[in-house]
Amino acid sequence: MFTSDVLIVGGGQAGATAAITLRQIGFGGSVTILEATADLPYERPPLSKSYILGKRNFESNLIRPARFWAEQKISIFTNAAVIAIDPARLQVTLTDGRVIGFGNLLWAAGGTPRRLTCPGAKLSGIFTLHDKLDADAIAARLGAPRRAVIVGGGYIGLEMASVLRKLGHHVTVLEAQERVLARVAGETLSRFVETEHRAHGVEVFLNAQLRELHGTNGEVTTAVLADGRELPADLVVAGIGITPLVAPLLEAGAAGGNGVEVDEFCATSLPGIYAAGDGARHRNRFALNEWVRLESVQNATDQAITAAHAIAGQSKPYAALPWFWSNQYDLRLQSAGLNMGHDTTLLRGDLAARSFSILYLKEGKVIALDCVNCTKDYAAGKPLVLNHARLDVVRASDNNIPLKEALAS
Amino acid sequence: MVDLIVIDRAGCEHNFKATPGKSLMESIRDQGIYDIKALCGGSCSCATCHVYVDSDTPLAVMSEDENDLLDGTSERQANSRLSCQITLIRGMDPLHVVIAPED
């Protein structure tokens, strides 16, 4: 039986970072990554941006060039999906029946994109955007002018809308809630982003439920909303979130539900088994110590670094500041912190000038910020969010006063 | 090719030739040097590829975004750059690069 001192399930951002970190901090044991797809570790964010636009090739998306992994004695098994974990025997079983042993296991399998379940959802021309295959499949349909319907007004859906508009396609975004980005942004940013998309020719339908999809010869042609409206649609992209891929861990007895629970060292409740990334539910000090799952490059990377240190016997707790970014049209969105529980929002700058930032405060302390084309505030604000600095609300609302000079006296 | 001399955070010197057209960030990362995180993939959205660069030839002009991001680091020096924003060009070598401390 093949055995690896550290076995990493998932070759995405978290899995790759953990392997690299183990070598960086001098871990000399064997390290193996099991990746369910055929691809070496690559960055996902460009998939919905420059990659699908054709401005960036796949080689540039690779987290490291192929030769790096061999040089570092990191084994990568592709097309290797785990279906079961035996925590007592320290073994995993793959879908093809292979059994692999481990000293420590790091679960970094991410999630699977939620798919549409309405009538017609199996027609051809309907996609999610989660991995390279998805992006390639969508890109392959963009040779002809399309009438695209995007289900979900979150970051993936909106980035997709931006890319499709840039390429000249007709785009409608269906958002089930009463504003876009409802899960992550405050209302001001939601309305601004909605207005921008409309100005770029995107039709945005709010409070809109997809009822069914109709097609001809197996190809989608029409989206029907709950209120009966019919939209021509020959390309449908669902950006409706992910389901954390943690079933084998939970079946093995790990604590969890929506994701697998980890402590501040990214350890699960099963001895020797760690988790990092989209599927790792953790208490986050930037979420008032509530349990959260964060789906971001920052979280995947920093949790992987935390887990690698713990596995190598150099434990240090996870305390990294969450941050996010998005690019839509000529908008550079940058966020830091988590705005849950805020009681005040402050706007700096001018929405009409398309350069502003929004500060989220709780009891006078800044807990998060969203910046649009305003890197200055993002850079200056990050350390303030990290320290939950107390702000002078009058000065902090004045765009002419640098943010770092807006601390409460 | 472009000659690079890169000092990593442990103080180790790496001398190697990099391909023109690639960014300095990609070249350092692809050489197997660990210290460059480059979390935003080179889109000038973070500052995790911060380096100090000395070059005899002028480098690409710094954008306002890059300048602002560098301002947000506690380790900025006169020769600070985000390595993702420097495209290697034949003739710009040798480039002397020191990877900045982690913020």
Task: Spell out the SS3 assignment of A139-171.
Answer: HHCCCCCCEEEEECCCHHHHHHHHHHHHCCCEE
Contact A301 B30 (CB under 8 A): no
Tell me how many domains chain A contains: 3
> How far is C-alpha A85 from the chain's CA centre?
26
Q: Does A320 touch chain B (CB under 8 A)?
A: no
In a domain, A29, yes or no: yes
Q: Which of A250, A278, A311 is a domain's end point? A: A311
Q: State whether A61 and A45 are in the same domain.
A: yes
ipTM of model: 0.93
Contact A383 B72 (CB under 8 A): yes
Let me know how long chain B is. 103
Q: State whether A124 and A271 are in the same domain.
A: no
Tell the CATH superfamily of the B2-99 domain.
Beta-grasp domain (3.10.20.30)
Preferred mutation among B16, B33, B46, B70 to probe A, highest tally of A CBs within 10 A = B46
Listed as ranges, residues in chain A with pLDDT below 70 are none
* Residue-level pLDDT at B58: 85
- Does the pLDDT of residue B93 top 90, yes or no? no
> Which pLDDT band holds residue B61 (cuts at 50, 70, 90)?
very high
State the nearest Cα–Cα gap between B69 and chain A, in angstroms: 5
In a domain, A319, yes or no: no
What are the start-end ranges of the E strands in chain B? 2-7, 13-18, 50-54, 80-82, 95-99
Q: Which of A81, A71, A58, A59 is nearest to A11 (CA)?
A: A81
Contact B37 A375 (CB under 8 A): no
Higher-confidence position of B57 and A1: A1
Q: State the CATH number of the domain containing residue A364.
A: 3.30.390.30
The rounded mean pLDDT for chain A is: 97
Q: Does A383 touch chain B (CB under 8 A)?
A: yes
In a domain, A47, yes or no: yes
* Residue-level pLDDT at A409: 84
Residues in chain A within 8 Å Cβ distance of B41: 43, 45-46, 61
For residue B24, the surrounding DSSP H or E stretch is helix B24-30
Q: State whether A301 and A394 are in the same domain.
A: no
Residue in A71, A301, A332 closest to B39 by CB: A301
Q: State the CATH number of the domain containing residue A88.
A: 3.50.50.60
Contact B41 A46 (CB under 8 A): yes
State the nearest Cα–Cα gap between B4 and chain A, in angstroms: 18
* Residue-level pLDDT at A211: 98
Contact A45 B72 (CB under 8 A): no
In a domain, A279, yes or no: yes
- Report how far residue B14's alpha carbon sits from residue B99's, in angstroms, rounded to the nearest whole number: 11
* Residue-level pLDDT at B91: 86
In a domain, A252, yes or no: yes
In a domain, A51, yes or no: yes
Q: Read off the tokens for A262.
A: 């980890």
Residues in chain B within 8 Å Cβ distance of A300: none
Q: Does B37 touch chain A (CB under 8 A)?
A: yes
Q: Which of A183, A214, A238 is a domain's end point? A: A238
* Residue-level pLDDT at A45: 94
Structural domain range at position A291: 2-112+242-311
Q: State whether A119 and A232 are in the same domain.
A: yes
- Residue A179: what residue type? R
Contact B71 A298 (CB under 8 A): no
Contact B45 A334 (CB under 8 A): yes
Domain residue ranges of chain B, discontinuous segments joined by +: 2-99
Q: State whether A134 and A105 are in the same domain.
A: no
Taking CA A172 as the corner, what is the angle to CA A170 and CA A178, rounded to the nearest 5 degrees? 160
pLDDT tens digits, B2-25: 999 999 999 999 999 999 999 999
Q: State whether A290 and A337 are in the same domain.
A: no
Q: Which of A238, A256, A272 is a domain's end point? A: A238
Q: State whether A159 and A172 are in the same domain.
A: yes
Q: Are A320 and A297 in contact (CB under 8 A)?
A: no
* Residue-level pLDDT at B56: 85
Residue in B29, B39, B43 closest to A327 by CB: B43
Q: Does B71 touch chain A (CB under 8 A)?
A: yes
Question: For B26, what's the count of Cα atoms within 13 Å in the CB-facing half-sphere?
Answer: 18
Q: Hey, how many other C-beta atoms are within 10 angstroms of the C-beta on A357?
A: 26
- Report how far residue A367's alpha carbon sits from residue A373's, in angstroms, rounded to the nearest whole number: 20
Residues in chain B within 8 Å Cβ distance of A20: 34
CA B100 to each of CA A210, A336, B52: distance values in angstroms, whole numbers, following the listed order: 50, 22, 6
> Which pLDDT band holds residue B92 (cuts at 50, 70, 90)?
confident
State the nearest Cα–Cα gap between A53 and chain B, in angstroms: 15
* Residue-level pLDDT at A155: 96
H helices of A252-292, in order, are none
Contact B43 A24 (CB under 8 A): no
Contact A64 B34 (CB under 8 A): no
Q: Hey, how many other C-beta atoms are within 10 angstroms of the C-beta on A409?
A: 5
Q: State whether A106 and A141 are in the same domain.
A: no
- pTM for the full predicted model: 0.96
Contact A71 B45 (CB under 8 A): no
Q: State whether A221 and A139 are in the same domain.
A: yes
